[in-house]
Structure 1
Amino acid sequence: MTSGDKPALGRPAPAFRARNQHGQDVTLADLQGAPAVLIFFPWAFSGICTGELGAVRDELERFTELGARVLAASCDPMFALRAFADAEGLEFDLLSDHWPHGALARAYGVFDDEVGVARRGSFVLDATGTLTWSLDQGIGEPRDIAAHLAALAAPAS
């Protein structure tokens, strides 16, 4: 069961403040002025998550060419995310949604209450912080990162 309603497309993204793997605060306001891709994942070091975030790492130049900042969020603690980023060569922000546990995932409607982690939710925000695309998949369902790039490159409607 997922808690919280998923935010509506065409509406402002829910505000947030979270620490990245380096202990730096990142807020929704920090993203203003450029598009952003926010990817929720259940667990650092798990097979599917490692593969997905490795695919993001491998396509990071394409995300950058589209002017986007990539952020990935999980309920893992900051230090686990730092170890994960270092081990996998992830050079984008990994946001810790550890405490209050799952608050960010709940705000975006992708927290799984039964398991206690974020589902595989993804959100594309435009330069004004408006949600333009989203995806919500189960914990065991890998995402297609190419779909994220296509959504980012799609002209605004």
Structure 2
Amino acid sequence: MAIQVGDKAPDFELKDNHGRAVKLSDFRGERNVVLIFFPFAFTGVCTGELCEVRDNLPRFSDRDTQVLAVSNDSIPTLRVFAEQEGLEYPLLSDFWPHGEVSRAYGVLDEAKGCAVRGTFVVDKDGVVRWSVVNGLPDARDLDAYIEALDTL
């Protein structure tokens, strides 16, 4: 079961596509976070969603928000994917222990070994204020993230 609105967002530390450690709690008191779980790099729907975020980054930064995208891909895979697509926000690897953070957020598809499409808007206090969880083939609506941020 996915984390619910009003829950404290589970803290985590994952390595980004450059091998740097990123902790969710590092943003507490400083920035909101849009946490985007995606199944796999280099796939059509994931690439489309993440490129749409790339093309709209000012809409997030203008709302004092950090975007963090998480998949169960390895760091080298995420590095090449980010370079190929020009993604300049952190792509976090939940590769090992496999899916630990995805599982904590209730978005790991155990049978497929990947996260489903879960998005969580976490406020500066570390509380989940909005979420959506879609199945693997179903793209999410970026405008819904922005509307959620506007209510904070």
1:1-157 aligned within 5 A: 5-32=1-28, 33-154=30-151, 156=152
| Paired letter, 2:92 | L
Q: Secondary structure at the match of 1:50?
A: helix
User: How far apart in 2 are the matches of 1:31 and 1:100?
Assistant: 23
User: How far apart in 2 are the matches of 1:48 and 1:8?
Assistant: 25
CA RMSD of aligned residues (A): 0.8
User: How far apart in 2 are the matches of 1:126 and 1:53?
Assistant: 21
User: How far apart in 2 are the matches of 1:16 and 1:76?
Assistant: 17
Percent identity, aligned pairs only, is: 48
Report deviation, 1:15.
1.1
Q: Secondary structure at the match of 2:18?
A: coil
- Structure 1 unaligned blocks of 5 or more: none
| Paired letter, 2:4 | A
TM-score under structure 1 length normalisation: 0.94
User: How far apart in 2 are the matches of 1:19 and 1:55?
Assistant: 23
Aligned residues: 151
TM-score under structure 2 length normalisation: 0.97
User: How far apart in 1 are the matches of 2:106 and 2:42?
Assistant: 23
Report deviation, 1:8.
2.3
User: How far apart in 1 are the matches of 2:79 and 2:2?
Assistant: 28
User: How far apart in 2 are the matches of 1:68 and 1:146?
Assistant: 14
